Chains A and B, each alone.
Chain A
Amino acid sequence: MKILAVCGMGLGSALVLRMQAEKALKELGLTADLEVADIGTARAIAPSADLILTSNELAEQLGTVKPKVVTISNFIDLREMVDKLKAALE
């Protein structure tokens, strides 16, 4: 499974998303390849991912992509990440 953490430039909030997703997956007992991308790259490589993690606003800018898009409102709230990943991956 490949999860893509997406932000505007791929080096700020997407890194936070990736590190939170790492912790959440550990808590859920799951493993996945986690990658970071800026929004432009994300559009291009989205078909190779199984899941995209991003903010509500960037999800709108991303438009329609193949993988399921999970939007995170509070990037540093591990509970939100765990709950949303769990719901998406079940």
Chain B
Amino acid sequence: MADARPGPALSDLLAAGAITIGADAPDWRAAVRAAGDALLEGGATSAAYTDEMIAAVEELGPYMVIAPGIALAHSRPSPAVLRPGISIVTLGHPVAFGHAQNDPVRLVVGLAAPDEEGHVTALSTLAEFLADAARLEALIAARTPDEVRRMVASFEEEQAAAATEGMPT
């Protein structure tokens, strides 16, 4: 299926340093902080953004646990967002966020967005990647950031190949 969507690909938003494997997080705040630290490390945000992400969960509740085991942590566009970015953090131990259906969380995705739409392609790819249970398990079992990066890159290649098929040459 060819989606003509705007904005950078998932790989482009996943900066070097923005993947953390087996983060040691005793509670949801620490888990969100790990996702914020990874965004900071990747150069997408300043430290204030991490506090904004935690404040967002405090304000709006744990609805950001969008699927079983997966939290999408983010805040609003703000001066603390330097450029669009995504971080991927696998947790060493599952963490309860207080979500009625989707707890406990094993994977935290951090999102920094300077506007409302620029990250839509990357987010779409990520949702499709994580929708497959086998891929999700493989991601959570990854032992190095490079392994995660390769999984994402190879998924994007598969998607691109599928999109090209059947298109007029």
A residues near B (Cβ < 8 Å) are 7-13, 15-16, 19-20, 36, 39, 55-58, 61, 73-78
A73-B17 Cα distance, complex, nearest whole Å: 31
In the assembled complex, the Cα of A13 lies from the Cα of B102 at a distance in Å of 14
Q: Can you identify 11 A-B contacts, CB atoms within 8 angstroms?
A: A9-B74, A13-B63, A15-B123, A16-B66, A20-B127, A61-B61, A73-B102, A74-B102, A75-B67, A76-B66, A76-B127
Size of the B side of the interface (Cβ < 8 Å), in residues, is 32
Instruction: Tell me the B residues contacting A by CB distance below 8 Å.
Output: 56, 59-64, 66-68, 70, 72, 74-77, 99-102, 111, 113, 116-117, 119-120, 123-124, 127-128, 130-131
In angstroms, Cα B74 to Cα A20, docked, is 19
| Chain B minimum-CB-distance residue to A7 | B63
Q: Are A36 and B116 in contact (CB under 8 A)?
A: yes
Contacts of A73 in B (CB 8 A): 101-102
User: Which of A19, A39, A55, A74 is the one whose CB lies under 8 Å from B124?
Assistant: A19
A56: chain B residues at CB < 8 Å are: 63, 100-101
Majority SS of interface residues in chain B? mixed
Q: Which of A12, A19, A36, A61 contacts B74 (CB 8 A)?
A: A12
Of all chain A residues, the one with the shortest Cβ separation from B111 is A12
Q: How far is the CA of A8 from the CA of B113 in the complex (A)?
A: 14
Q: Determine whether the beta carbon of A10 is less than 8 Å from that of B72.
A: no
The residues of A that contact B74 with a CB separation of less than 8 Å are 9, 11-12
A76 to chain B, nearest CB (A): 4
Cα A15 to Cα B72 in complex, Å, equals 12
A38 CA to B159 CA, complexed, in Å: 30
Distance in angstroms from A37 CB to nearest chain B CB is: 10
